[in-house]
Amino acid sequence: MTSAPMPRNTAPLEALAEPRLAHAALEAVITVDHAQRIVMINPAGLDMFGLQREQALGMHLEQLIPVRLRAPHARHVHGFGASGQVERPMGERGRVLGLRANGEEFPLEAAIFRSEVALPSGTQTYYTALLRDLSELRRMSSVIEQLNQRLRSLFERAPVAIWITEQDRVVFANLACAQLLGLPNPGQLVGRSIFELLSPGFHEPVRGHLQTLEKDDAVSVLVAAIQHADGTLREVELVVAVLPDHERSFVQMVINDITQRTREKKDLLRSRRTLRELSASLVEAREEERQRIARELHDELGQRLTALKLEMTACLRDHPSVALAERAQGMLEMLDDTVASARRIAMDLRPLMLDDLGLAEAIDWLVQQFKRRTGIGVSVRLDKALSGLPPSLATTLYRIVQEALTNITRHAQASEVAITLVNRGQELHLTIQDNGVGFAGASRTRNAGSFGLLGIRERVLMLGGRLSVGNAEGGGARLVVRVPLVRPVAQALDEDVRDAVGPPFDDSTRDHLD
């Protein structure tokens, strides 16, 4: 440490070595005479060298310097005295070695200045040294350097790719980052702009995000594509965090290669789409088969049974026989029951009124049959604007109501059910609510062998709609279905996959992802 030069002083030595000034100093202050004998040393100096005042006063200054450095020190002091300078640092940048009373050497920073004091015997020259112990500072610097080395080693050996940037320039990159980019040495990345390494399609999103970052921002995540040395692109996830350093801001990015994960996710979703398309095809084929069988039961079998009944009635009329009358009456009753069973089976397979009269009439018939069979009260509110619905939409909504009523019969323990189907312009809203036990805990999950809610969910997704299942405020279960009036199944499936995968890459990016 250096000090402002002390002006020439004509005060006595006692004024020069004012105890109050020296004692108040936090740094060591030592004054020696022309013979290099200590004439004043403050408490900080005594502590620094481990001396008592009685030992220090009158001691030659060279005893506070290692033996090997005493000769250079003497030459330095002699040169200072001959130079006429008032102040000079000692050693390189004012740093020298001191020697404590216990023999320990330690680094210190020193500055000396000369004062001339007028005494009765004449003018006397004194030298005062200001000393700072650098041993603790050096120890702390060593500790900090070790910590920096360890931290850097952790970054360099981290299994995930990391680079640190200032503005958009890379100032540090680890080995994993170089490997991700197909480079042999991380040093090849230092100084380069990250926009040289990112796919052009992601320059603007990343640049805009970096410009809005603040020092106290939390960690954020970006998705981008990075250029490999062989020309291919790797889809990556950038975990971005600001590292403030005084007035400079560094940005750390942890780079996760998600190319394989995204590919597997897309493959899974494509498989899921294929299965959903297959499911839709199977449902459509089953509905067509049900419609065909129901039509044949109603038209073919029903008509033949009716004709047989008419023939038997005519035979009894043309050939009356008391002996056969009783048996014939039993056969006619059996025919009536068979005709009713055929009609019931046909209606269960697919109510023909769904095709002939529409969705509202088919739901009314279904509700009446449900009430008669279970004794559960049902209130129905159907929008008048339900005519002209696409056949697939009408069939799906009818099946959802049918499946929901079946589930209520089996599980709800309800006494009342409310069904509402309204047209909201571009959507149909179907709500089915009961006053039963509702869903307890995780009971909304599918039990083994139970596909009721799963079937409803798949039917809703095939229409591009949304399903909400939960408990009503007043108790019981509540099922809400929202479906668009017009939406092709393929479009619904495409949007389902896109929503799960995220925004697509542009064509050039997609072609290069390996």
Q: How far apart are CA 55 and CA 47, in angstroms?
A: 12
Helix axes 322-349, 259-296, angle to 10 degrees: 160
The per-residue b/e assignment along 123-149, b for 16 or more CB within 10 angstroms, e otherwise, is: eeebbbbbbbbbeeeeeeeeeeeeeee
Q: Give the DSSP H or E segment for 16.
A: helix 13-16
Per the CB < 8 A criterion, the answer to whether 117 and 13 are in contact is yes
Q: What is the pLDDT of residue 21?
A: 55
Q: What is the pLDDT of residue 250?
A: 85
Question: What 3-state DSSP class applies to 414?
Answer: coil
Question: Which residue is listed with tokens 């603040």?
Answer: 214
Q: 377-382 and 416-423 as β-strands: parallel, antiparallel, unpaired?
A: parallel
Q: What is the pLDDT of residue 24?
A: 57
Q: Of 455, 485, 457, which Cα lies nearest the Cα of 469?
A: 457
Per the CB < 8 A criterion, the answer to whether 60 and 77 are in contact is no
**Which segments in the chain show pLDDT lower than 50?**
1-18, 91-93, 442-444, 446, 448-449, 488-493, 496-514
Per the CB < 8 A criterion, the answer to whether 514 and 232 are in contact is yes
Q: What is the pLDDT of residue 380?
A: 92
Q: What is the pLDDT of residue 482?
A: 92
Per the CB < 8 A criterion, the answer to whether 284 and 344 are in contact is no
Q: What is the pLDDT of residue 23?
A: 61
DSSP string across 68-100: GGHHHHHHHHHHHHHHT-SEEE-SGGGEEEEE-
Burial of residue 196 (number of CB atoms within 10 Å: 0-12, 13-18, 19+) = exposed
pTM of the model: 0.48
Per the CB < 8 A criterion, the answer to whether 182 and 171 are in contact is no
Q: How far apart are CA 116 and CA 126, in angstroms?
A: 6
Amino acid type, 61: L
Q: CA angle, 501 as apex, 498 and 502 as ends, to 5°?
A: 75
Query: What 3 state SS string does 275-326 have?
Result: HHHHHHHHHHHHHHHHHHHHHHHHHHHHHHHHHHHHHHHHHHHHCCCHHHHH
Q: What is the pLDDT of residue 487?
A: 56
Q: What is the pLDDT of residue 431?
A: 92
